[in-house]
Structure 1
Amino acid sequence: MTTVAVTGAEGFIGSHLVEHLVAHGHQVRAMVQYNSFSSFGWLETLDRDVLDSVEITLGDVRDPGSVNGLVKGSEAVYHLAALIAIPYSYQAPHSYIETNVTGTLNVLEAVRHLDIPRLVHTSTSETYGTAQTVPITEDHPINTQSPYAASKAGGDRLADSYHASFETPVVTLRPFNTFGPRQSMRAVIPTVIAQIAAGTREITLGDLRPTRDFMFVKDTAAAFHSVGTAPAEDVVGRTFNAGTGGEISVGDLVTLVGKLMEVDLTVREDEQRLRPTNSEVMRLVADASRLRAATGWTPGHSLEQGLEKTIEFFREPSNLARYKTDLYNV
């Protein structure tokens, strides 16, 4: 049984990745951001038979000592820890640099000096900005339209530089818009579903025009695992998109969710949910053919299948109770 390390393990995608890794026979060291409540985030909801193969440690990627202790002796590191909310990056850009750039630097340094065989670094489709050509390949220009996107692009460039300078065995995965159970209400799909599940029929959202390539979280977890275990010559030093190749506008998405949940909806635009005009990314749709060719990965869920599973999650009262559906989650 190989030991792997995961940063950001307590979060939405991180907790699903931990489940996936355990299901595929790995022992997982899971870093949870230190907090005085001893909260393990979404890891606390995992089945006991999963947690039996998980060693949870409180730490912080901004601290080199925390990172060194986490990754030492592991066969692979999956680096997911990040500040991710775009609206909050307008308010606290320094925090994004400290976590997404300096934190990534700490992970790269630890992997380099401790001779870890594989590092999977997490990027984001937001680094592309509004699509200039579609579908978006990995050769699309980088155009960061928010402090969040800029901080993630900074981490990406560091990862590239460490491979070029030190032959650090890093591979970058660039997921498009992941959704599913456990996602926070800072994202559009849980915002819509949770409001409906709480009984609301007038949904408050931002701009309904942007299109996104939405991918179910279990498929994202499988994409991470695919680049973490593929032969080094096929993936190391490369960047891979992970997406479905389909796109839907936010407005059409709301209509689809309403249909699946069998409710009639009205949508009210909330100005505080709108990005600054030049910061809104209007279109994102992935070309993931490079990932398929290198690893054989393909998404296993349609948009409708993923939405059904997400709706089921939010309709469970104990899950819905974790969310503040009447607040705007930055």
Structure 2
Amino acid sequence: MSGIANKRVLVTGADGFIGSHLAEMLVERGAKVRALCLYNSFNNWGWLEKSDKLAHMEIVTGDVRDPHFCRKLCADIDVVFHLAALIAIPYSYVAPDAYVDTNVRGTLNICQAALDAGCSRVLQTSTSEVYGTALTVPIAETHPLQPQSPYSASKIGADAIAKSFFNTFNLPLVTARPFNTFGPRQSARAVIPNIISQIAAGKKDIALGDLRPTRDFNYVLDTCAAMIALAECDAAIGEEVNIGTNVEISIGELFETIRSIMNSDAAIVTEEQRKRPEKSEVMRLLCDSTKLRTLCGYKHQYSLRDGLEQTVKWFTNPANLANYKTSIYNI
């Protein structure tokens, strides 16, 4: 496929963390963006509410769980970036049925609608959580899939549904599998904004869960740029492709790095409610991004520290911090 400029592009989940950044980047690259925000009675468009690119987007509200709506949503669209999903792992322990409805059935609805509409490319957004605790490192796309939480199980199911449409109906599909993405606008249920927002709010005791797991963190602009590169890459059709930095860091070490950047003397307090069940915790995630570089030549642009500094800068703006309830643990 030629570049994304002038293409009619749909972003599902555009009101969310990664989706809002992706929609803005697509506008910057000349795409004609239709942004799906989850319908609500307040007519709130999430993080797009204050976007300086809003005037250049077509905002649509609705729900990917409705197949009839999805058919209308995909009409006259060239490229679909499917990000709409429930993603909080702890909440998947509470409401697993909702994860199947949104993540699996929602993906089915989008794939069917994109097929019917003759879309030229569909990018399915996966997650490194489908791999579970690393059996071999770094983790390549051939690593076994391990459903260690209802969330990861729902994403394994969603990826399988999407891939079945490629295998059965020749849907021009790419599955992007980002490792842990972070940056401005991320929910405080994630570890990096959790740490930063607590320190920024003046707390000296920072509540965290298990400090041992390691993660490969991607700055959000790198994740978005890699997703666009994959959508533009003909060689990626039918492939699952990791997005990562090939660098891992433990949660304990991550805390120390953030504390250093923020010149804080805060200390960690471990809370049991923030720990996952023993067999559900993913202890190690380290990306092998060889396939991403080989297929489309993309290499990440931001180091972990660069991304953390940008994220700290955003969260320490009082107007941004005011969006977060740092005294409440949100699963």
TM-score in terms of structure 1 length:
0.98
Tell me the alpha carbon deviations over residues 168-212 of structure 1, each in whole angstroms, 9 at most, x when there is no partner.
Answer: 111100000000000001100000000000001110000000000
**Pairwise mapping of residues 41-190 of structure 1 onto structure 2 (< 5 A)?**
41-47=46-52, 50-190=53-193
Residues 12 and 183 of structure 1 are in contact (CA less than 8 Å); yes or no, is this contact kept in structure 2? yes
Q: Secondary structure at the match of 1:292?
A: helix
Q: Secondary structure at the match of 1:251?
A: helix
Tell me which residue corresponds to 1:307. Answer: 308
Residues 195 and 203 of structure 1 are in contact (CA less than 8 Å); yes or no, is this contact kept in structure 2? yes
Specify which of 181, 203, 207 is matched with residue 206 of structure 2: 203
Tell me which residue corresponds to 1:319. Answer: 320
Which amino acid is the alignment partner of residue 296 of structure 1? G
Identity of aligned residues (%): 53
Q: Secondary structure at the match of 2:93?
A: helix
- Runs ≥4 in structure 1, deviation > 3 angstroms? none
Q: Secondary structure at the match of 2:279?
A: helix
The CA RMSD over aligned residues, in Å, is 0.6
Query: How far apart are the structure 1 equivalents of 2:34 and 2:71?
Result: 12
Shift of 1:67: 1.4
Which amino acid is the alignment partner of residue 270 of structure 2? E
Query: How far apart are the structure 2 equivalents of 1:329 and 1:189?
Result: 14
Query: How far apart are the structure 2 equivalents of 1:82 and 1:213?
Result: 21
Query: How far apart are the structure 2 equivalents of 1:254 and 1:65?
Result: 46
Q: Secondary structure at the match of 2:181?
A: strand
Query: 74-83 or 50-59: which moved more?
Result: 50-59
Residues 12 and 37 of structure 2 are in contact (CA less than 8 Å); yes or no, is this contact kept in structure 1? yes
Shift of 1:101: 0.2
Tell me the alpha carbon deviations over residues 73-123 of structure 1, each in whole angstroms, 9 at most, x when there is no partner.
Answer: 111000000000000000000000000000000001001111111000010
Q: Secondary structure at the match of 1:141?
A: coil
Residues 127 and 179 of structure 2 are in contact (CA less than 8 Å); yes or no, is this contact kept in structure 1? yes
Tell me the alpha carbon deviations over residues 30-63 of structure 1, each in whole angstroms, 9 at most, x when there is no partner.
Answer: 000110010000001211xx12220001000000
Structure 2: 5+ residue stretches without partners:
1-5
Q: Secondary structure at the match of 1:278?
A: coil
Tell me the alpha carbon deviations over residues 134-159 of structure 1, each in whole angstroms, 9 at most, x when there is no partner.
Answer: 00000000011000000000001111
Tell me which residue corresponds to 2:15. Answer: 10
Structure 1: 5+ residue stretches without partners:
none
TM-score in terms of structure 2 length:
0.98
Which amino acid is the alignment partner of residue 123 of structure 1? S
Query: How far apart are the structure 1 equivalents of 2:210 and 2:108?
Result: 35
